[in-house]
Structure 1
Amino acid sequence: MADDTDFFIEQVQITAIVFDNSDDVTIWATTFFDQEPHFFHLGLQFQQLDLLLRLAGERAGKLQEDVADALATVTEWPCLLEYTSEAEPPVPLPSVALKLSCTYPADGPFGDDDETDEDEGADDDTFNISIDPDADEADTSEYEAGMPHNIFYLEDVFLRVEP
């Protein structure tokens, strides 16, 4: 479910590209707000991914090759290309502003399945999507289905033109 509230972010760094056997791609990225890094997921189409990769400066060609090679050789879905190491650092998008729209979860964090035994899997963190691994039960109980989270859709791409 998407919202009609759009906003812009800059100082984006791609940390991963994730694709499956659909027409959509997910980018994991970071941005800075109030001098603090913020992690987010960005849903987009392959044409939009190609545009972002072309805006990646001197790494554009290599990134396009990475994606083409991965798509040509992938045997298991989803396919993940990570850019978080010294050898493959995050990919900055210089002078780029992204127009994003918010998404909202359709259901509660794990659905509203009344048939599930509440004690079953109570100590299992398999589905804990919290960024903070030390988050306690009180933090996760504050989740509300109507609240936005860190998954966005790419609406448009803008370039900063320096005089």
Structure 2
Amino acid sequence: MTSSPDFDARGFRDALGRYATGVALVIARTPDGGIAGMTINSFASVSLDPPLVLWSMRSGTASAEAFRAASGFTVSILGAEHEEIARRCARADCEKLDNLDLVDTASGHARLRDAIVWFDCTTWAQHPGGDHDIFIGEVGEFGSRPGATLMFQDGRFGESGA
């Protein structure tokens, strides 16, 4: 189903942007052992039992196939000090993850070492969602540290009051 011709797509996007969200870096291993990653603000909890989280990405994103093929991924919630990382990893180029301070989880997935919160996930389900793909992950391991989280609202970055 497509929206009606008189539907205000830009107004809809602007209205969605009014909702302040956290900002995260999601990373998966590629079939050749490399890594693919991107900045997201579409992260949410799904279930406590089993422990499930979700995120989504535009279906045509350059790294979409890597995420679809991956058996798992990490979600690194960014701190207020990570705005430059958020901006860099929102780009489409393949070098955006170069020189980031990444560490492997026990399962072998890469995550941002100094993330405010991180989740190591096994892919539990993938669903089409209009022009996006929705990924649900079962959390096997997680961690956190104190600090303010990076926030995004109305097209601008800010920080939580932590």
| TM-score, with structure 1 as normaliser | 0.29
Q: Return the structure number with greater relative CO, CA threshold 8 A, min gap 6.
A: 1
Q: Which has the larger radius of gyration?
A: 1
Greater strand proportion: 2
| TM-score, with structure 2 as normaliser | 0.29
